[in-house]
Chains A and B, each alone.
Chain A
Amino acid sequence: MPEITLHVNGREHRLDVPDRMLLTDALRDRLGLTGTHVGCEHGVCGACTVLMDDRPVRACLTLAVQAEGRRIRTVESVAPSEDALHPVQQAMRDCHGLQCGFCTPGIVMSLVALHERAEGAGTVAEEEIDETLSGHLCRCTGYRNITAAARRALGADTAPCEHAPEGADR
């Protein structure tokens, strides 16, 4: 079993992992980072999306050994503090962009990457938001609210969410 160093959420971890271990399982079972969800395990559903060197990738289509030397970020790293949310998380909450929440961490990671790019470039194209979300399956069929949250978080839409539940934090 190779010993590898994984850089996850700003920390280094020395781990013995089997060659065939997927990055999803290393994150969840070895590091206890269960925010990265395992859905289809063949790269279709997007639930396991993490950032590798700031880009969204499928953790189920990456071997843990391939992540050595790369910078991994999971949903656990996104909120700035215990009692604050990242703008993407806040928009998902405000717009009620989730139902059961299973697909949510992957969506948040993809949108965080877009958000970081938008901060550098000023804005992102609406088509890019749709294209990014097309890589995520939500089986609660909640796309209207997810899309609204994404547009708000990325500055493509500044109107209040029309689908927000009553009493939602604004």
Chain B
Amino acid sequence: MAAVKPAPFTYRRAATLGEAVDLLAADPDAKVIAGGQSLVPMLNMRLARPGTLVDIGALSALDYVDVVAGRLEVGATATQADVAAHPLVRAHLPVLAAAIARIGHSQIRNRGTVCGSIAHHDPSAELPAVALALDAEILAFGPRGPVSYAAASFFTGTFDTALAADEIVTAVQFPLPAPATGWAFAEVARRSGDFALVGCVALLRTDAAGTVEEARLALFGVASTPVRLPEAEDLLTGRPATAEAFEEAARVAAEHLDPGSDSHASADYRREVAAHLVATTLADAFARTPAGSTADA
């Protein structure tokens, strides 16, 4: 590949969120940049040719992690590395740290942001699936003031979201799972650090006897957005958390998936990997519940 450089653009560094919104509104071809770990490769390849880059990286007021009213909130400029290492994340939402650990490499996570990954919405990326599994709320700000989006309606297609062109994601709120909820995150990629072929987020809550009270499953890499699996979730609810139930959920999940084929993997392969990941993440999530951790292996 020849040396690759971005096409010309105008760079503007915003000192305040209001200034960032004004700068974004001033050019219909403007794009927001924070860590730039998804955008700069696209600029270098000239897959993206924005007229203006609005850098929100200096908005240090948005560099935070907080837990408020049962929600873990991550600000727009908090890097993936800082979020994954944050004591509040480790304590309250370890599934988020586990998902971040699979993003690129540590050198990428030192610059990339959690909110940037969600706003960018590569359908094979980890964090949109976590947001969907947890019913996260995406907070944004634009000329019409603050606005928020439910994850279930935010991801609309490959590199496409419900965010208006003049709005900036300011934070993501992840509702904390109910106490004693088990979790698991897994993905299959060709090499460490590559985008996943298929990945799965599983959350499982059972009663003391091991009967499933709530199951949440989100797959990525199998469609143009991350997908929940309501049929498999419903099948599990009210049933004992057993290997047989997890296998059946995996079969049902595969029946309802319609993944694409590309040079990386065929649709059949993706479906098979997805089913495998559903069964194994459910088992791993159950092992992290009080009932599952005391059950015989």
Residues of chain A having any CB pair with chain B under 8 Å: 2, 18-20, 22, 25, 38, 40-44, 46, 49, 52, 55-58, 60-63, 65-66, 110, 131-132, 134-135
Within 8 Å CB of B107, what residues of A?
46, 49, 56-58, 110, 135
Task: Kindly report which residue of chain B lies nearest to residue A22, judged by CB atoms.
Answer: B5
Q: Which of B1-47 contact A (CB under 8 A)?
A: 1, 3-11, 13, 33, 36-37, 40-41, 43-45
> B81 and A134: CB pair below 8 A?
no
Within 8 Å CB of B9, what residues of A?
19-20
Within 8 Å CB of B261, what residues of A?
none
In the complex, A49→B108 CA distance in Å? Answer: 10
In the complex, A2→B55 CA distance in Å? Answer: 14
Within 8 Å CB of A40, what residues of B?
1
A62-B36 contact, Cβ under 8 Å, with A20-B7, A132-B106:
yes
Q: Which of B117-141 contact A (CB under 8 A)?
A: none
> A63 and B36: CB pair below 8 A?
yes
In the complex, A62→B107 CA distance in Å? Answer: 12
At the interface, yes or no: B110 with Cβ under 8 Å from chain A? yes
> B8 and A19: CB pair below 8 A?
yes
Task: Kindly report which residue of chain A lies nearest to residue B4, judged by CB atoms.
Answer: A41
> A42 and B8: CB pair below 8 A?
no
A166 smallest CB distance to B (angstroms): 33
> B110 and A56: CB pair below 8 A?
yes
At the interface, yes or no: B230 with Cβ under 8 Å from chain A? no
| Additional A-B contacts beyond A62-B36, A134-B105 (14; CB < 8 A) | A19-B11, A40-B1, A41-B3, A43-B37, A46-B105, A49-B107, A57-B110, A58-B111, A61-B111, A66-B36, A131-B106, A132-B105, A132-B106, A135-B107
In the complex, A44→B11 CA distance in Å? Answer: 24
> A62 and B111: CB pair below 8 A?
yes
> B36 and A20: CB pair below 8 A?
no
